[in-house]
Amino acid sequence: MIALVSGCAPGPQEGSPVYYQPSPEHRQRSALTAAEDALLLARIKAKIFSDELVDQGRVTIKVRHGVAILEGKAQDVYHRRLLMDLIRTVDGVVGVKNQTDLIHKGTTFVTAAAIVRDNIQMALLQDPDTAPCPIQVAVTRQEVILTGSTRSQPIKQKAAAVAKKFAGDRRILNHLSVADN
């Protein structure tokens, strides 16, 4: 007697089995892995907060099995890319998974000169001596040009020193005038 059992002989669609590999955010974690992920998240956040150019916006970050997962809304393509690139530099990050939407979907191109200008303007506005002064900042590849006026020579020099912190290799042209009191 011969018994035929269906499914025992290899058919045309059979081969090596394919196993489901869950994504990092769905895999089970041990207590040790969860602690390592929490420590990595703390290092990522410290790196982000220490970088003046990164605008985290409304992006939340989770870490699972060493993979940083970004969710929420990024300002634009530039800020999302800057955030992702910065996270990749953190020791222990094995990958970055982007699940963000963009607030401003249009392409935004920001030049290095514009970033330097914005940083100088922000620093001048945050300084109690230079904040009340009408100071304009222009930045080229080689120069930072300060125009406007200050109340005194020491404030004029302080404005130049603030600009120098962000100027890099650029020369500072301090064309600020000192207002007569």
Which of helix, strand or coil describes residue 117?
helix
Q: What is the reported pTM? A: 0.46
What pLDDT is recorded for position 22? 56
The two beta strands, 95-102 and 67-74, are parallel
What pLDDT is recorded for position 18? 59
- Least confident window among 56-60, 96-100, 168-172: 56-60
- By CB neighbour count within 10 A (0-12 exposed, 13-18 middle, 19+ buried), where does 145 fall? middle
Residue ranges of domains in the chain, CATH in brackets: 31-102 (3.30.1340), 112-178 (3.30.1340)
User: pLDDT tens digits for 122-169?
Assistant: 889 888 888 888 888 998 889 999 999 999 999 999 999 999 999 888
Q: Which residue has the higher pLDDT, 110 or 96?
A: 96
Tell me: pLDDT of 175 over 90: yes
The H-assigned helical ranges of 51-140 are: 77-88, 112-126
Tell me: pLDDT of 111 over 90: no
Tell me: pLDDT of 21 over 70: no
Tell me: pLDDT of 118 over 90: no
- Least confident window among 9-13, 76-80, 148-152, 159-163: 9-13
The answer to whether 171 and 164 have CB atoms below 8 angstroms apart is no
Tell me: pLDDT of 113 over 80: yes
Over residues 106-124, the mean pLDDT reads 79
Taking every pair of C-alpha atoms in the chain, what is the biggest distance, in angstroms?
A: 117
Q: Which residue has the higher pLDDT, 72 or 26?
A: 72
Sequence-distant (≥ 6) Cβ neighbours of residue 48 within 8 angstroms: 54, 56, 83, 86, 87
What pLDDT is recorded for position 3? 47
